[in-house]
Amino acid sequence: MSQKTLSWPLKLPVYVLALSLSAVLSLTSEDVKAGILPGQKAPAFTADIFNPESEKVENDVASDLYLGKQRVILFSYPKNCTYVCPTELIALKKVMPKLRQMGFQVLVISADEASEKEDAKHSHESWWKSSDDQKVNKEGPLGLGKPEYIMVSDPDKKILQQYGLLGDDGMALRGTVYIGENGVIRIIEINSNDIGRDVSTHILNNAAKVEQLDERGKADAEKVLPAGWKPGDPMMPMTDEGVREHMKDKS
């Protein structure tokens, strides 16, 4: 019997199956590129940083100095000496004492160079030193005025990609990753680059949630933070009765 070729109607399911498989493989690839998720361990990395304590650039600093040893906020932004970025980073500077009280180490990260030897105008070092006082700094980019947070340099953008904080345009996104003291990611939030983050309330509130979960003891192991939780509010038992009790004042 001679071999017959498949007619078009019979070929169609095979064609569709091939497209579907291609789409699944493509989706899997994109998922890998997307980075990490809450509940996962924060990926370790090594980077050059500008350290505000030593007021110097330090090379090849391992994130293990912080991750898994204390609470961490990884705060990404597109570029030094721009426009929305200084409004965020100066606001973040003002709440650093509160974040320190909550046990957080804050790492701000962009693809800019760390040292002014590499970039005299736009490096972390030069921007950190530049004044944020408008009466003093009257021309050009507004500076940061020596904030307390560590500035991480990622010119190769490997860390940003690893954390899913790299946009399609090759710029860092406005991402905020909140990491518990056990090194597990609790919250990830990403803004469009033309939207600045509300540091004074929203970020402090999220930090308080991470602090609360970290300090939850064995007695509170079966309690969670419901919608609308604020610092000082009780945690909610993971029961139907707990939900009803929480919702009494919400209806």
User: Which own/partner pairs from 59-62 qualify as long-range (CB within 8 Å, at least 24 positions apart)?
Assistant: none
* Full set of structural domains in the chain with CATH: 46-215 (3.40.30.10), 218-251 (no CATH)
- 85 a catalytic residue: yes
pLDDT reported for residue 139: 86
Out of 85, 114, 160, 199, the active site residue is: 85
pLDDT digits (tens), the chain, 251 positions:
444 444 444 444 443 334 333 333 333 334 334 568 999 999 999 999 999 999 999 999 999 999 999 999 999 999 999 999 999 999 999 999 999 999 999 999 999 999 999 999 999 999 999 999 988 888 889 999 999 999 999 999 999 999 999 999 999 999 999 999 999 999 999 999 999 999 999 999 999 999 999 998 877 889 999 999 999 899 999 999 999 999 987 76
Give the pTM.
Answer: 0.84
pLDDT computed for residue 29 by the predictor: 36
Q: What is the C-alpha to C-alpha distance for residues 216 and 235, in angstroms, rounded to an integer?
A: 9
Residues whose CB is less than 8 angstroms from the CB of residue 61 and which lie 6 or more positions away in sequence, other chains included: 46, 47, 48, 49, 51
- Specify the pLDDT at position 248: 87
